[in-house]
Structure 1
Amino acid sequence: MRGQIILSHGSDSGPDATKVSVLAALAESLGWSTQRPDYRDDDRRGHAGSVAPRIARLRAAMELLEAPPVLVGSSMGAFVSGLASLERPVAGLFLLATPAAIPGFESAFDLRLDVPTVLIHGWRDEVCPLDEMYEFAGRRQLPLLILDDDHRLSANVDTIAQQFRLFLDQLAVAA
């Protein structure tokens, strides 16, 4: 086994969502162990109200692991993965359609800068404006792949999977 990956789904979604399912299957085929927390109960609290419970659930999953995991997240899952990385060591961050802020939540998006990170966003993201994540990535000099897609990134699942494979291969070489 190469390591642990925790994949966090977005709001109005679930642990069997297309992107996290495809990425989990790919990671498992490469020898990684995966888990996908179910945040649907937390999401009933609304966007701002779900952030703290989601982080607590993710942190609890991380605490059970022997080594720092790779965190993968989409939208709200990306937001909480970044914030959780500030509290616990992580081996990497692979974040999709990340919001720069959640209206009503006190903290803006942030993440550890000392771990490999890839951000992927859609040009036409109608939920999480690209400009905000573009500025965030630029200030921190983080890789940002911008795809011709909307918030769901559903037209580019294969491209995302290819990028994820490259990311995991780079982590394996660095280890």
Structure 2
Amino acid sequence: MPGHVILSHGSDSGPDATKVSVLAELAQSMGWSTERPDFREDDKLGHAASVAPRIARLHERMAACSAPPVLVGSSMGAFVSGLASLELPVAGLFLLATPALIPGNDLAFDVRLDVPTLLVHGWGDEVCPLDEVYEFAGRRQLPLLILDDDHRLGAHIDAISRHFGLFLEQLAASA
């Protein structure tokens, strides 16, 4: 088996959300095991207050893995996945519609630079401004796929899936 993928949903969503569900199914079809933690109880605390409990819950799931997992996240899920990668080993990061900051929270988004990472964002993201993630990716020289879409990236699920499949293939080949 190639490895394990942990997929983290956004704030106004759940573990059965479209993007994480489609990506989980793809990973499973490629032989990866997957899980989708449920952060909805944490999210009831509000955006800023949910960051720490989400990271703790993600760390718990990561620590239970026999090898470093691939983290996939959308919006708040991407934010906490990047921060979780700073403290525990990961095999890769595939992050969608990532906010650079969560208002009211002291943590700024970051990732480990020695981990394969792909950022995916929409030109018309009305929630997480493209300028912020573009600047972040540029400072760290990280790959950034920008699609003609909004925050939900719903019009490009097929394109995102293709890129995710390639991402997983590259990780499996380098393992």
Tell me if both proteins adopt one fold, taking TM over 0.5 as the criterion: yes
Matched, 1:104 2:104: yes
Could you tell me which runs of 5 or more consecutive residues in structure 2 were left unpaired when the two chains were aligned.
Answer: none
Partner of 2:166: 166
Deviation at 1:126?
0.2
Q: What does 1:95-174 correspond to in 2, within 5 Å? A: 95-174=95-174
Residue aligning to 2:88:
88
Between the aligned partners of 2:34 and 2:14, the Cα distance in structure 1 is: 15
Deviation at 1:43, TM superposition (A): 0.2
Pairwise mapping of residues 4-15 of structure 1 onto structure 2 (< 5 A)? 4-15=4-15
Question: Aligned-pair distance for 1:2?
Answer: 0.8
CA deviations on 1:97-127 (whole Å, 9 max, x unpaired) are 0000000000110011101000000000000
Count of paired positions:
175
1:51 matched residue in structure 2: 51
Q: How does 1:71-82 map to 2 (within 5 A)?
A: 71-82=71-82
Distance 1:106 1:163 in 2: 32
Deviations 1:53-108 (A, max 9, x none): 00000000001111000000000000000000001000000000000000000011
TM-score, normalisation: structure 1: 1.00
RMSD: 0.3
Query: What is the DSSP-based 3-state SS (H/G/I as helix, E as strand, rest coil) of the residue aligned with 2:71?
Result: strand
TM-score, normalized by length of structure 2?
1.00
Letter in 2 for 1:20: V
User: 2:144 and 2:61 mapped to 1: Cα distance?
Assistant: 27
1:41 matched residue in structure 2:
41
Distance in 1 of aligned mates of 2:96 and 2:107: 19
SS in 2 for 1:115: coil
Runs of 4+ in 1 over 6 A off after TM superposition: none
In percent, how many aligned pairs have the same letter? 77
Provide the C-alpha distance between the structure 1 equivalents of 2:15 and 2:73, rounded to a whole number of angstroms.
11
Q: Which runs of 5+ in 1 are unaligned?
A: none
Secondary structure of the 1:155 match is helix
Q: Distance in 2 between matches of 1:169 and 1:32?
A: 10
* Aligned-pair CA distance for 1:172: 0.9
Q: Tell me which amino acid in the other structure corresponds to 1:147.
A: L
Distance 1:134 1:7 in 2: 23
Which secondary structure state, in structure 2, belongs to the residue aligned with residue 95 of structure 1? strand
